[in-house]
A = this chain, B = another copy of it.
Amino acid sequence: MIHCSTCGSKVNTEIPPGDHRPRQVCPSCGQVHYLNPKLVVGSLPVWEDKVLLCRRAIEPRLGFWTLPAGFMEADETLAEAACRETFEEACANIELQGLYTLVNIPHINQVHVIYRARLLDTGFHPGEESLETRLFSEEEIPWDEIAFRSISLSLRNFFEDRRRGCFTQREETLLPGTAHLP
């Protein structure tokens, strides 16, 4: 933030009275602008022994594979966001089966939330943001072509839990790395 979203003046970076962190503060209207983490919400849709992945038609990571997921919108719930993103990216109808992975990514100020889901039919097809949508068995997962670390983490957890016969919700934290974005 360079300009105050309330009055348009240039903001300063300073620690407001009673606070302990530098914030963007407007010298004209006095408003303090906080930077809050963004929620990215998606699903891990399953059909028989296979998982639905989408190949990205947009940057970042164009051409790489991902689970359907995206930024949560105003006026919706986490579960609604997961279903909406799955429909937008893969035109897939799902039934959610519970919160599965929570991935903190502090260095990019995001929290990723992935639900396990049951595909209701195989009538999925690419939405506008996908080049391709396809079911993958564990052996077929293109691990080197997964778009984001939070997604490969969720997939690895899923196959491990499935082998164990018990799905456990996990909270994980990704630190800055170079192998995958983000």
Residue ranges of A at the interface with B (Cβ–Cβ < 8 Å)? 1-10, 18, 21, 33-39, 71-79, 99, 102, 104, 106-107, 109, 111, 128, 169, 171, 173
With CB as the reference atom, state the residue of chain B lying closest to A172.
B77
CB of A34 within 8 A of CB of B71, answer yes
Tell me how far the C-beta of A62 lies from the nearest C-beta in chain B, rounded to whole angstroms: 15
Question: Across chains A and B, which 6 residue pairs bring their CB atoms closest together, nearest first?
Answer: A3-B8, A77-B104, A8-B8, A1-B5, A35-B74, A5-B5
Main secondary structure of the interface of A (DSSP, over half): loop
- Check B78 against A104 for contact (C-beta < 8 Å): yes
User: How many copies of this chain sit in the oligomeric assembly?
Assistant: 2
- Determine if A78 and B10 form an interchain contact, defined as CB atoms under 8 angstroms apart: no
Known: A3-B4, A3-B8, A7-B2. A75 touches B38 (CB 8 A): no
How many Å lie between the Cα of A10 and that of B79 in the bound state?
34
Contacts of A79 in B (CB 8 A): 104, 171
| Contact yes or no, A74 B8, CB < 8 A | no
Judge whether A2 and B6 touch: CB under 8 Å.
yes
Give the residue of B10, B102, B107 whose beta carbon is less than 8 angstroms from that of A75: B107
